[in-house]
Amino acid sequence: MALGLTLTWLTLLILIPLSGLAWRSSELGWEKFFAIAFDPRTLSALRISFGAAFAAACINVVFGVVLAWVLVRYRFPGKRIIDAMVDLPFALPTAVAGIALATLYAPNGWIGQFLTPLGIKIAFTPLGIVIALVFVGLPFVVRTVQPVMEEIDKEVEEAAATLGATRLQTIFRVLLPGLMPPALTGFALAFARGVGEYGSVIFIAGNLPFRSEIAPLLIVIKLEEYNYAAATGIAAMMLVISFAMLLIINLIQSWRRRRYGYGV
């Protein structure tokens, strides 16, 4: 009963829409599909989307693990407020987040006005895209790593210290191996969110072709031009690349579980 309900739900919500995308893309034919897929503007948009999402996910893994560690291991005033703020990107409309970030990092913004004299431009550049994706992706890493970190007893760290391990050795040889599977899961979730992110990016990206135009925006542009074939072709390319990268991450997780015996 449960298996049948799960498969039905999965088919209705995921398999049928993806099949529709594949079917629509197949109408193009291989020649037109490759012409759209390897168009310089399409390749530039895909490179910016996946490159920014990958960079943001890497940043989120580092700072997400650190933030989860602080929330689990330390007690300080305002801890519950910070813990609640981690989930803010989940509740905040992405367009609002994009407008807020653009206001902060614009050349005349609260933060941008101090960076502009230094020659650092964030808004309307790929760097602004990365910052927006870091904002929306951080909760995925923190909330994935935090429960696992709470299960690690402090006695493990104390035992390592008793055996003569330094603080860095304890972190890299005792703690991080157990945190790698959830960290990789958080990375995959943050990366997947970043690839498809639209609302928080378009306001801070500048949307300049070949410079700061993301693939989701290019799809919207093609739809507004009633070029549905091109839109589905670009979407199919994003689907294939995303699936391949997520598959690689899952294979790495499986390999680590088999080798080190850690679970997520």
Please give the pLDDT value at position 53.
Answer: 94
Please give the pLDDT value at position 256.
Answer: 67
Residue 132 has pLDDT above 50, yes or no: yes
Please give the pLDDT value at position 260.
Answer: 58
CA distance 104 to 224: 30
Mean pLDDT of 36-44: 89
Smallest CA-to-CA distance from 250 within 264, 233, 240, 231 is with: 264
**Average model confidence (pLDDT) for the chain?**
84
Using 50, 70 and 90 to split pLDDT, how confident is the model at 135?
Answer: very high
Residue 236 has pLDDT above 90, yes or no: no
Please give the pLDDT value at position 57.
Answer: 95
- Lowest-confidence segment of 143-147, 217-221, 258-262 by average pLDDT: 258-262
CATH class held by domain 30-260: mainly alpha
Show me where the domains of the chain are located.
Answer: 30-260
CA distance 31 to 11: 30
CA distance 202 to 251: 33
pLDDT (tens digit per residue) in 161-209:
777 777 777 777 777 777 888 888 899 999 989 998 988 898 898 888 8
pLDDT (tens digit per residue) in 63-120:
999 999 889 888 888 888 999 899 988 888 888 888 899 889 988 888 988 888 888 8
- With contact defined as beta carbons under 8 Å apart, do 60 and 140 qualify? yes
- pLDDT-above-70 percentage for the chain: 94
Please give the pLDDT value at position 133.
Answer: 95
Residue 211 has pLDDT above 70, yes or no: yes
